[in-house]
Amino acid sequence: MDSVNILAPAKINWTLDILSVDERGYHLLDMLMQRITLYDTIKIKTGGEGINLKTNLKWLPVDERNTAFLSAKLFYEATGIDKGCEIFIKKVIPSGAGLAGGSADAAAVLKGLNSLYDYPLSDMELSDLALKIGADVPFMLKGGLYRAQGIGEKLTKLRAPKQIPLLLIMPKRQTASTKKVYTTYDEIGSKQKPETDKFLDALYNLNYENMRLFGGNVLTESANTVAPSIDDNIKRLQDAGAEFVSMTGSGSVVFGVFKSIEQAMEQRKNFNDCWSCICQTTPSGIRFKEEV
């Protein structure tokens, strides 16, 4: 086998809390992250010289500024394999959204290359490489629902809830810079504070009242300062009948939980001015084509 096709799913944050800042200046987190059925598609083919990366979006960088390229570079360095590859990414997950699309692509490239070269790296070695790329990347090697702590690298696998219908929305011309959102958080803090253990119990029981009571993302206020449409979109989803609404990551995607896909589809027509997506939570992670 000299090529693989991979589906790389996005994620949402059910909760995101910041506990402290360490001596390096890193924010120490406590959050619940869940994979969803929104995918980038990646094809990797071995051969040629060096790393040749292409995407369907002309404005995306195709060098080390792209996490997928960096993944391939680190993989070859770690394994000592003196070969090349071609990577094509069909981007569907929007950038600057809090959905970890870049991290999903990076993790998919690590897994794909490891498969193509008959698994020279263990799962632990892959995780170590993933952390060098970004704090979300170790989780993006996984599937389902995890509690992430530290800077995101301390992962605890949790029982994934049943598929939950979601409507995701984001302004078409406004994204949130992660760096700016965290800098703003350091300046203004947050009035909301999720209670992760209580939220998890509510999630398992789909107790929407307690999900609203114990959920939340401490970056929401700072993200709304950077991208002022976020509070408005939260209210719009609430007015549309979503049972629980929150922002994912550092924004600027806001998602709403609905009781059915049909209800989410019916409400989606109210968001024609936004990028929007209907999907579900999933217990799956990265999937190779033969598993699709």
Q: Active-site residue numbers?
A: 11, 136
Q: Are 97 and 60 in contact (CB under 8 A)?
A: no
Look-up of token digits 């070269």? 117
- Mapping DSSP onto H, E and C, the string for the chain reads CCEEEEEEEEEEEEEEEEEEECCCCCEEEEEEEEEEEEEEEEEEEECCCCEEEEECCCCCCCCCCCHHHHHHHHHHHHHCCCCCEEEEEECCCCCCCCCCHHHHHHHHHHHHHHHHCCCCCCHHHHHHHHHHHCCCHHHHCCCCEEEEEECCCEEEEECCCCCCEEEEEEECCCCCCHHHHHHHHHHHCCCCCCCHHHHHHHHHCCCHHHHHHHCEECCHHHHHHHCCCHHHHHHHHHHCCCCEEEECCCCCCEEEECCCHHHHHHHHHHHCCEEEEEEEECCCCCEEHHHC
